[in-house]
Amino acid sequence: KHILTLPGDGVGPEIMTGAKAVLEKIAKDFNHEFTFEDGLIGGAAYDATGTPLDDATLERAKNADAVLLGAVGGPKWDTIDKTLRPEQGLLKIRKELGLFANLRPIKVFDKLIPASPLKETIVSGTDILFVRELTGGLYFGRPSERRDGGNSVVDTLIYTKEEIERIVEYGFQAAKLRGGRLTSVDKANVLESSRMWREIVDAKSAEHPEVKVEHALVDSTAMKLITNPAHFDVVVTENLFGDILSDEASVITGSIGLLPSASLNSEGFGLYEPVHGSAPDIAGQNIVNPLAMILSAAMMLKYSFHLSEEAEAVEAAVDNALKDGIHTPDLDFEGGRKVGTEEMVEAVMSYIK
């Protein structure tokens, strides 16, 4: 299997090194061959090539079996032309590869319940899979422009029926593989796109009677994620709502440094990246938590390579390392042993059997 690695900016390179080491170990123990090829994205790409993602890299991504991405962005590039900012590289690769299904599992690790900003009784049992639409809506709708000589501005929330259908279908399939419950989030009391979304969910619901569906408004969901996060199983929603709600949900676990994500296209091709950002303030200090990147690599094993056993070996190793109290400084742990990024990676490797 051939993997394109795009470390990106800030802590990206450090966590990518960690994920590669873990994958090498898996390859050795389970008798696979993974080949890696490094590419540039984000600010690093801008500095080297003048654009946050060049076409050659995009071509290499298309030819790889999967893409691992670290993180992009940083204050260094805050003032450059908006079309060249690091995030544009991320938006471009998502769009060009058709990665419409963004999966963000939000799971509370028992050991980290005390680190949650929420009360223990509320957060415990939380295990949500966000299925976020990633290539449509306000992110890519046109027109997106100034008008009347700069006196007004417009962005466009646009979806085709097909775009909604495929992500909603993905939500139903995901619910079947999990707890059988699907929450579809919209703003149907205001938006026409949400009303169409709701109709499509209702139609699909008839095709999947074994899934229990509920409709929820985005504002109510923002509340319920705090008052009763354990209520949710699979949440399916459009791009911007998914961005806001999955980030909101990510912090209730007590560490965003543990959360992976997968972005898939209709052929099952995927890009895998941690939910956290490039954290330039802590880059290069050997203190960043590599687990979100490592768990993103585990998602790659599962979703792109169908190596479930290997994926579970990685997840179990992470789980066991945390259970034994080994953790990077970002985790607010009672007891345990605080280690650096490299030692954390080694610990995970030593737990893989």
Ligand X SMILES: CC(C)[C@H](C(=O)O)[C@@H](O)C(=O)O
Query: Which residues would be at the binding site for ligand X (CB under 6 A)?
Result: 87, 90-91, 189-190, 219, 243
Instruction: State residue 257 phi and psi, 5-degree precision.
Output: -75, 0
CB of 123 to a second copy, least distance (A): 9
Q: Is 29 a catalytic residue?
A: no
139 counts as catalytic: yes
Q: How far is CA 263 from CA 27, 141, 145, 266, 273, in A?
A: 23, 19, 28, 10, 8
And the tokens for 315? 């997840």
Which of 176, 187, 224, 338 is labelled catalytic?
A: 187
Positive or negative, the Cα torsion across 325, 328, 329, 332? negative
Region from 96-104, 114-122, 171-179, 337-345 binding a second copy, contact rule CB under 8 A:
114-122
In the bound state, the residue with its beta carbon closest to ligand X is 87
93 labeled binding residue: no
Beta bridge mates, 11: none
**Burial bucket for residue 27 (CB in 10 Å: 0-12, 13-18, 19+):** middle
40 phi and psi angles, rounded to 5 deg = -110, 140
Q: Cα separation of 344 and 289, whole Å?
A: 8
User: Distance (Å, rounded) from C-alpha 177 to C-alpha 172?
Assistant: 9
Which CB, 139 or 170, lies closer to ligand X?
139
Candidates 75, 150, 209, 335; binder of a second copy (CB under 8 A) is: 150
Residue 181, strand partner residues: 212
Asked whether position 191 contacts a second copy by CB under 8 A, the answer is yes
On whether 162 is known to bind a ligand per the annotation, the reply is: no
Beta carbons of 137 and 159 less than 8 angstroms apart: yes
Task: State the helix-helix crossing angle for 12-30 and 291-303, rounded to 10 degrees.
Answer: 50
Closest distance between a second copy and the C-beta of residue 15, in Å? Answer: 20
CB of 31 to ligand X, least distance (A): 34
Instruction: Answer yes or no whether residue 146 interacts with a second copy by CB under 8 A.
Output: yes
Work out how close the CB of 257 gets to a second copy at its nearest, in angstroms, rounded to a whole number.
13
Contact between 276 and 247 (Cβ < 8 Å) = no
Residue 244 as a binder of a second copy (CB under 8 A): the answer is yes
Among a second copy, ligand X, none, partner that 81 touches (CB below 5 to 8 angstroms by kind) = none
Burial class (CB in 10 A: 0-12, 13-18, 19+), 316: middle
Q: How far apart are CA 115 and CA 119, in angstroms?
A: 9
282 contacts which partner out of a second copy, ligand X, none, CB within 5 to 8 A by kind?
none
87 binds a second copy (CB under 8 A): yes
Among the listed residues 46, 111, 139, 204, the single catalytic one is: 139
Is 219 one of the catalytic residues? yes
Span near a second copy by CB under 8 A; candidates 4-12, 56-64, 83-91, 278-286: 83-91
Residues that bind a second copy (CB under 8 A): 82, 85, 87, 91, 117-119, 122, 138-139, 141, 144-146, 148, 150-162, 187, 189-193, 195-196, 218-220, 222-223, 225-227, 240, 243-245, 247-248, 250-252, 256
* Catalytic machinery residues: 139, 187, 219, 243, 247
